[in-house]
Amino acid sequence: MKLPILSLTTILALTFGSLQTAKSQTIPKEELIFLTSEWKGERFPDGRPKISDDLVRRAREINIEEAWVVLKNEGYNCQFEGNWKIVHDDVVIAGRALTAQFLPSRPDIEKNIKDRGAKQGRIGNTNSWPIDMLSKGDVYVADGMGKIVEGTLIGDNLANSIYAKTGNGVVFDASVRDLDGLSKIPGFNAFVRDFDPSYLKDAVVTGINTPIRIGRAVVLPGDLVLGKKEGVIFVPAHMVEKVVQTAEFIALRDKFGIQMLKEGKYTPGQIDSQWTDALKSDFLKWLDKNPNEIPMKRSELDEYMKKRTW
Protein backbone atom coordinates (compact mmCIF):
# COMPACT_ATOMS: atom_id res chain seq x y z
CA MET A 1 0.00 0.00 0.00
CA LYS A 2 1.38 3.37 -1.01
CA LEU A 3 1.12 5.97 1.75
CA PRO A 4 0.92 9.73 1.11
CA ILE A 5 3.60 12.13 2.26
CA LEU A 6 2.35 13.73 5.46
CA SER A 7 2.09 17.48 5.78
CA LEU A 8 3.29 19.27 8.89
CA THR A 9 -0.33 19.90 9.85
CA THR A 10 -1.11 16.20 9.62
CA ILE A 11 2.00 15.27 11.60
CA LEU A 12 1.03 17.70 14.34
CA ALA A 13 -2.50 16.37 14.30
CA LEU A 14 -1.23 12.85 14.75
CA THR A 15 1.11 13.89 17.52
CA PHE A 16 -1.52 15.76 19.50
CA GLY A 17 -4.19 13.19 18.84
CA SER A 18 -6.78 15.35 17.10
CA LEU A 19 -7.35 12.76 14.37
CA GLN A 20 -9.82 9.99 15.10
CA THR A 21 -7.37 7.39 13.78
CA ALA A 22 -4.85 8.18 16.50
CA LYS A 23 -5.50 6.23 19.68
CA SER A 24 -4.10 7.86 22.79
CA GLN A 25 -1.04 9.64 21.40
CA THR A 26 0.15 6.75 19.20
CA ILE A 27 0.64 7.19 15.48
CA PRO A 28 -1.44 4.90 13.23
CA LYS A 29 -0.05 1.41 12.72
CA GLU A 30 0.10 1.95 8.95
CA GLU A 31 2.30 5.02 9.42
CA LEU A 32 4.64 3.16 11.76
CA ILE A 33 4.97 0.35 9.22
CA PHE A 34 5.70 2.97 6.54
CA LEU A 35 8.42 4.63 8.65
CA THR A 36 10.08 1.26 9.33
CA SER A 37 9.42 -0.23 5.89
CA GLU A 38 13.02 -1.51 5.55
CA TRP A 39 12.10 -4.12 8.16
CA LYS A 40 10.70 -7.27 6.50
CA GLY A 41 10.24 -9.49 9.55
CA GLU A 42 7.65 -10.08 12.24
CA ARG A 43 5.91 -7.15 13.92
CA PHE A 44 4.15 -6.49 17.20
CA PRO A 45 0.39 -5.83 17.07
CA ASP A 46 1.15 -2.09 17.40
CA GLY A 47 3.27 -2.22 14.22
CA ARG A 48 6.72 -2.09 15.79
CA PRO A 49 9.39 -4.36 14.27
CA LYS A 50 9.88 -7.45 16.43
CA ILE A 51 13.60 -8.13 16.55
CA SER A 52 14.18 -11.75 17.59
CA ASP A 53 14.94 -12.58 21.22
CA ASP A 54 18.11 -14.35 20.04
CA LEU A 55 19.49 -11.21 18.38
CA VAL A 56 18.61 -9.08 21.44
CA ARG A 57 20.41 -11.59 23.67
CA ARG A 58 23.50 -11.62 21.45
CA ALA A 59 23.49 -7.82 21.18
CA ARG A 60 24.17 -7.54 24.92
CA GLU A 61 27.66 -8.94 24.31
CA ILE A 62 28.78 -6.71 21.45
CA ASN A 63 30.80 -3.51 21.73
CA ILE A 64 29.13 -0.19 21.02
CA GLU A 65 32.18 0.98 19.06
CA GLU A 66 31.86 -1.91 16.62
CA ALA A 67 28.12 -1.36 16.23
CA TRP A 68 28.76 2.35 15.61
CA VAL A 69 31.27 1.62 12.83
CA VAL A 70 28.84 -0.68 11.00
CA LEU A 71 26.07 1.91 11.19
CA LYS A 72 28.33 4.76 10.11
CA ASN A 73 29.55 2.77 7.10
CA GLU A 74 25.91 2.40 6.06
CA GLY A 75 25.20 6.13 6.43
CA TYR A 76 23.51 6.00 9.84
CA ASN A 77 25.40 8.84 11.48
CA CYS A 78 22.90 9.90 14.16
CA GLN A 79 22.38 6.78 16.27
CA PHE A 80 24.60 7.24 19.36
CA GLU A 81 24.20 9.48 22.38
CA GLY A 82 26.53 9.82 25.37
CA ASN A 83 26.81 12.02 28.48
CA TRP A 84 24.49 10.04 30.72
CA LYS A 85 24.04 9.54 34.43
CA ILE A 86 23.53 5.80 35.04
CA VAL A 87 21.98 3.97 37.99
CA HIS A 88 24.19 0.85 37.61
CA ASP A 89 27.46 1.09 35.66
CA ASP A 90 27.65 -2.70 35.33
CA VAL A 91 24.11 -3.40 34.08
CA VAL A 92 23.68 -3.53 30.29
CA ILE A 93 20.28 -2.82 28.78
CA ALA A 94 19.33 -4.29 25.42
CA GLY A 95 15.85 -4.42 23.95
CA ARG A 96 13.29 -3.02 21.55
CA ALA A 97 12.40 0.67 21.84
CA LEU A 98 8.99 1.85 22.90
CA THR A 99 9.17 5.60 22.48
CA ALA A 100 7.43 8.56 24.08
CA GLN A 101 7.63 12.28 23.41
CA PHE A 102 6.96 14.95 26.02
CA LEU A 103 6.39 18.66 25.50
CA PRO A 104 5.93 21.57 27.91
CA SER A 105 2.42 21.53 29.26
CA ARG A 106 -0.23 23.89 27.88
CA PRO A 107 -3.68 23.95 29.53
CA ASP A 108 -5.77 23.35 26.40
CA ILE A 109 -3.57 20.57 25.02
CA GLU A 110 -3.20 18.80 28.37
CA LYS A 111 -6.94 18.98 29.05
CA ASN A 112 -7.82 17.50 25.67
CA ILE A 113 -5.26 14.71 26.01
CA LYS A 114 -6.32 13.81 29.55
CA ASP A 115 -10.04 13.99 28.76
CA ARG A 116 -9.65 11.60 25.87
CA GLY A 117 -7.38 9.37 27.96
CA ALA A 118 -10.05 9.16 30.67
CA LYS A 119 -12.65 8.05 28.08
CA GLN A 120 -10.24 5.32 26.97
CA GLY A 121 -9.76 4.10 30.52
CA ARG A 122 -6.37 5.71 31.06
CA ILE A 123 -5.49 6.18 34.71
CA GLY A 124 -3.01 8.57 36.29
CA ASN A 125 -0.71 11.18 34.84
CA THR A 126 0.33 10.93 31.20
CA ASN A 127 3.88 9.85 32.10
CA SER A 128 2.45 6.49 33.21
CA TRP A 129 0.59 5.84 29.94
CA PRO A 130 3.61 4.56 27.95
CA ILE A 131 4.38 2.21 30.85
CA ASP A 132 0.97 0.57 30.44
CA MET A 133 1.96 -0.37 26.87
CA LEU A 134 5.30 -2.02 27.68
CA SER A 135 5.94 -5.73 27.11
CA LYS A 136 8.76 -8.15 27.86
CA GLY A 137 12.05 -7.07 26.31
CA ASP A 138 11.03 -3.47 25.66
CA VAL A 139 13.14 -0.45 26.61
CA TYR A 140 11.17 2.68 27.44
CA VAL A 141 12.85 5.57 25.58
CA ALA A 142 11.53 9.09 26.18
CA ASP A 143 12.32 12.55 24.89
CA GLY A 144 11.71 14.63 28.00
CA MET A 145 13.24 17.80 26.52
CA GLY A 146 16.38 17.34 28.64
CA LYS A 147 14.44 18.74 31.59
CA ILE A 148 15.94 18.02 35.00
CA VAL A 149 14.20 20.09 37.68
CA GLU A 150 10.53 19.02 37.57
CA GLY A 151 11.43 16.76 34.65
CA THR A 152 11.51 13.50 36.63
CA LEU A 153 9.62 11.05 34.43
CA ILE A 154 9.66 8.22 36.98
CA GLY A 155 10.53 7.37 40.57
CA ASP A 156 11.07 3.96 42.13
CA ASN A 157 7.36 2.99 42.06
CA LEU A 158 7.05 3.38 38.29
CA ALA A 159 10.52 1.89 37.83
CA ASN A 160 9.43 -1.29 39.59
CA SER A 161 6.43 -1.49 37.26
CA ILE A 162 8.65 -0.96 34.21
CA TYR A 163 11.05 -3.70 35.26
CA ALA A 164 8.23 -6.12 36.08
CA LYS A 165 6.79 -5.61 32.59
CA THR A 166 10.03 -5.55 30.57
CA GLY A 167 12.89 -7.06 32.56
CA ASN A 168 14.79 -4.05 31.24
CA GLY A 169 15.41 -0.36 31.89
CA VAL A 170 14.86 3.12 30.50
CA VAL A 171 16.60 5.80 28.46
CA PHE A 172 15.33 9.31 29.24
CA ASP A 173 16.43 12.65 27.87
CA ALA A 174 15.13 13.91 31.19
CA SER A 175 15.63 13.12 34.87
CA VAL A 176 14.37 10.62 37.44
CA ARG A 177 13.89 10.71 41.19
CA ASP A 178 14.35 8.23 44.07
CA LEU A 179 17.86 7.11 43.12
CA ASP A 180 18.19 5.08 46.32
CA GLY A 181 15.05 3.11 45.47
CA LEU A 182 16.02 2.71 41.81
CA SER A 183 19.41 1.28 42.77
CA LYS A 184 17.70 -1.46 44.79
CA ILE A 185 15.89 -2.95 41.76
CA PRO A 186 18.12 -5.87 40.65
CA GLY A 187 18.66 -5.90 36.88
CA PHE A 188 17.09 -2.50 36.32
CA ASN A 189 19.05 0.38 34.82
CA ALA A 190 18.33 3.95 33.79
CA PHE A 191 20.29 6.21 31.44
CA VAL A 192 19.19 9.74 32.33
CA ARG A 193 20.45 13.32 32.24
CA ASP A 194 20.46 13.64 36.02
CA PHE A 195 18.74 12.75 39.28
CA ASP A 196 16.51 15.25 41.04
CA PRO A 197 14.20 15.15 44.08
CA SER A 198 11.45 17.20 42.40
CA TYR A 199 8.17 15.87 41.02
CA LEU A 200 7.25 15.98 37.34
CA LYS A 201 5.54 19.25 36.50
CA ASP A 202 4.52 21.20 33.38
CA ALA A 203 5.19 18.29 31.01
CA VAL A 204 2.71 16.19 29.06
CA VAL A 205 3.13 13.18 26.79
CA THR A 206 2.26 14.14 23.21
CA GLY A 207 3.43 11.07 21.33
CA ILE A 208 3.75 7.34 22.01
CA ASN A 209 5.50 4.99 19.57
CA THR A 210 6.48 7.91 17.40
CA PRO A 211 9.92 8.91 16.02
CA ILE A 212 11.82 10.92 18.63
CA ARG A 213 15.13 12.66 19.11
CA ILE A 214 17.43 11.71 21.99
CA GLY A 215 20.24 14.27 21.99
CA ARG A 216 21.99 13.80 18.64
CA ALA A 217 20.31 10.44 17.97
CA VAL A 218 17.16 9.52 16.06
CA VAL A 219 15.03 6.74 17.56
CA LEU A 220 12.18 4.86 15.90
CA PRO A 221 9.83 2.49 17.70
CA GLY A 222 11.24 -1.02 17.53
CA ASP A 223 14.89 0.05 17.20
CA LEU A 224 17.37 -2.05 19.15
CA VAL A 225 18.49 -0.09 22.21
CA LEU A 226 21.92 -1.01 23.56
CA GLY A 227 23.08 0.86 26.65
CA LYS A 228 26.55 0.43 28.17
CA LYS A 229 28.95 2.55 30.21
CA GLU A 230 30.03 4.70 27.28
CA GLY A 231 26.50 5.53 26.16
CA VAL A 232 23.49 4.32 24.23
CA ILE A 233 23.28 3.30 20.59
CA PHE A 234 19.98 2.91 18.73
CA VAL A 235 20.19 0.35 15.91
CA PRO A 236 17.46 0.42 13.23
CA ALA A 237 15.61 -2.90 13.32
CA HIS A 238 16.56 -3.88 9.77
CA MET A 239 20.26 -3.32 10.57
CA VAL A 240 20.39 -5.38 13.77
CA GLU A 241 21.37 -8.72 12.23
CA LYS A 242 24.22 -7.19 10.24
CA VAL A 243 25.44 -5.15 13.21
CA VAL A 244 25.40 -8.11 15.59
CA GLN A 245 27.04 -10.54 13.15
CA THR A 246 29.77 -8.07 12.22
CA ALA A 247 30.49 -7.16 15.85
CA GLU A 248 30.63 -10.84 16.82
CA PHE A 249 33.02 -11.59 13.96
CA ILE A 250 35.29 -8.69 14.91
CA ALA A 251 35.34 -9.91 18.51
CA LEU A 252 36.35 -13.40 17.36
CA ARG A 253 39.07 -11.98 15.14
CA ASP A 254 40.38 -9.89 18.02
CA LYS A 255 40.50 -12.88 20.40
CA PHE A 256 42.42 -14.87 17.82
CA GLY A 257 44.72 -11.95 17.06
CA ILE A 258 45.54 -11.34 20.73
CA GLN A 259 46.37 -15.01 21.21
CA MET A 260 48.64 -15.00 18.15
CA LEU A 261 50.44 -11.89 19.44
CA LYS A 262 50.95 -13.44 22.87
CA GLU A 263 52.37 -16.57 21.25
CA GLY A 264 54.62 -14.46 19.02
CA LYS A 265 53.36 -16.19 15.90
CA TYR A 266 52.43 -12.97 14.12
CA THR A 267 53.45 -9.33 14.48
CA PRO A 268 51.08 -6.44 15.26
CA GLY A 269 51.56 -5.20 11.71
CA GLN A 270 50.39 -8.52 10.29
CA ILE A 271 47.35 -8.71 12.57
CA ASP A 272 46.26 -5.13 11.93
CA SER A 273 46.74 -5.24 8.14
CA GLN A 274 44.90 -7.09 5.38
CA TRP A 275 45.13 -10.74 6.35
CA THR A 276 47.20 -13.12 4.24
CA ASP A 277 45.88 -16.52 3.18
CA ALA A 278 48.11 -18.15 5.81
CA LEU A 279 46.64 -15.94 8.54
CA LYS A 280 43.09 -16.70 7.40
CA SER A 281 43.88 -20.42 7.42
CA ASP A 282 45.23 -20.25 10.99
CA PHE A 283 42.09 -18.35 12.05
CA LEU A 284 39.83 -21.06 10.61
CA LYS A 285 41.85 -23.73 12.42
CA TRP A 286 41.55 -21.72 15.64
CA LEU A 287 37.76 -21.60 15.20
CA ASP A 288 37.69 -25.40 14.80
CA LYS A 289 39.64 -25.83 18.03
CA ASN A 290 37.58 -23.24 19.96
CA PRO A 291 33.91 -23.82 19.06
CA ASN A 292 32.74 -22.46 22.43
CA GLU A 293 34.09 -19.03 21.48
CA ILE A 294 31.60 -18.77 18.60
CA PRO A 295 28.43 -16.91 19.73
CA MET A 296 26.42 -17.87 16.63
CA LYS A 297 25.80 -21.10 14.75
CA ARG A 298 28.93 -22.21 12.89
CA SER A 299 26.91 -22.39 9.66
CA GLU A 300 25.86 -18.77 10.18
CA LEU A 301 29.48 -17.74 10.73
CA ASP A 302 30.66 -19.64 7.64
CA GLU A 303 28.00 -17.94 5.53
CA TYR A 304 28.99 -14.53 6.92
CA MET A 305 32.70 -15.13 6.19
CA LYS A 306 31.92 -15.90 2.54
CA LYS A 307 30.76 -12.29 2.14
CA ARG A 308 33.47 -10.78 4.34
CA THR A 309 36.32 -8.72 2.89
CA TRP A 310 39.15 -9.50 5.26
Give me the pLDDT at residue 306, please.
Answer: 87
Identify whether 192 is part of a domain. yes
Q: Which residues of 245-255 are buried (b: 16+ CB within 10 A; e: fewer)?
A: bbbbbbbbbee
pLDDT at 27 over 90: no
**Shared-domain flag, residues 54 and 203:** yes
List of residues 6+ apart from 272 with CB closer than 8 A = none
> Which of 217, 235, 253 finishes a domain?
235
Structural domain boundaries, residue 178: 29-235
**Shared-domain flag, residues 289 and 231:** no
Structural domains in the chain (count):
2
Average pLDDT over residues 68-90: 97
pTM: 0.87
d(CA 194, CA 175): 5
| Residues that constitute the known binding site for Mg(2+) | 178
pLDDT at 1 over 50: no
Quick one: pLDDT band at residue 12, thresholds 50, 70, 90? very low
Average pLDDT over residues 50-69: 96
| Residues that constitute the known binding site | 155-158, 177-178
Give me the pLDDT at residue 180, please.
Answer: 97
Average pLDDT over residues 148-175: 98
**Shared-domain flag, residues 133 and 119:** yes
Contact 226, 206 (CB under 8 A): no
| Residues that constitute the known binding site for substrate | 155-158, 177
Burial class (CB in 10 A: 0-12, 13-18, 19+), 297: exposed
**Shared-domain flag, residues 214 and 80:** yes
Q: Which residue has the higher pLDDT, 307 or 280?
A: 280
Q: Rounded mean pLDDT of the chain?
A: 91
Nearest to 170 by CA among 222, 218, 237, 99: 99
Give me the pLDDT at residue 5, please.
Answer: 44
Give me the pLDDT at residue 75, please.
Answer: 97
Identify whether 282 is part of a domain. yes
**Shared-domain flag, residues 126 and 228:** yes
Average pLDDT over residues 45-52: 96
**Shared-domain flag, residues 230 and 246:** no
CATH number of the domain that residue 71 is part of:
3.50.30.40
Give me the pLDDT at residue 14, please.
Answer: 45
> Which of 205, 235, 265 finishes a domain?
235
Identify whether 144 is part of a domain. yes
> Which of 186, 210, 235 finishes a domain?
235
Average pLDDT over residues 34-48: 95
Identify whether 69 is part of a domain. yes
Look up residue 26 and give its DSSP letter.
B
Specify the pairing of strand 170-176 against strand 194-195: parallel
Contact 141, 212 (CB under 8 A): yes
d(CA 27, CA 132): 16
d(CA 302, CA 310): 13
